[in-house]
């Protein structure tokens, strides 16, 4: 997976989750995540790869969280996750996509949907 931005679409729903999503795949970038950000602009987000759980401790804003497996199939969604929260461990997940709050509802993304990264 490249460290540049990628686009993520939901092929099941024919919707786009984001066109400028950063990838955090080093230990440091996964640890920092969105902690330095003050918010997410529409069309942006962060893929944390690999991970099976995340937290929003010390974050300043709510996010939508989508857990996906190795084949980019959605295994869990957590809409509008508030700051200072933890997710459970999702053993089937390979990575997490963090998006602006509201994207899950806007795109009707649900467990079982197939995503595509380009």
pLDDT in tens, 12-54: 999 999 999 999 998 888 888 887 889 999 999 999 999 999 9
The CA distance from 17 to 79, in Å, is 13
Q: 45: domain range?
A: 6-117
Domain count, the chain: 1
Look up the CATH number of the domain holding residue 61: 2.60.120.1140
Assigned domain for 99 exists: yes
Assigned domain for 34 exists: yes
- Tell me phi and psi for residue 12, to 5 degrees: -65, -40
pLDDT at 3 over 60: no
Assigned domain for 49 exists: yes
Assigned domain for 50 exists: yes
Q: Whole-number mean pLDDT of the chain?
A: 94
pTM: 0.93
Assigned domain for 27 exists: yes
- Tell me phi and psi for residue 28, to 5 degrees: -65, -45
Assigned domain for 37 exists: yes
Assigned domain for 1 exists: no
């Amino acid at each position: 997976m490249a460290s540049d931005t990628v686009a993520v679409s939901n092929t099941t729903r024919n919707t786009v989750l984001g066109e400028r999503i950063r990838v955090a795949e080093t230990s440091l970038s996964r640890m920092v995540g969105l902690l330095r950000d003050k918010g997410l602009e529409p069309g942006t987000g962060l893929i944390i790869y690999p991970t099976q759980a995340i937290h929003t401790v010390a974050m300043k804003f709510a996010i939508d969280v989508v857990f996906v497996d190795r084949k980019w199939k959605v295994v869990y969604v957590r809409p509008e996750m508030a700051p200072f929260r933890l997710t459970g461990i999702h053993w089937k997940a390979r990575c997490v996509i963090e998006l602006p709050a509201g994207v899950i509802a806007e795109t009707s993304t649900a467990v079982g949907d197939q995503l595509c990264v380009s």
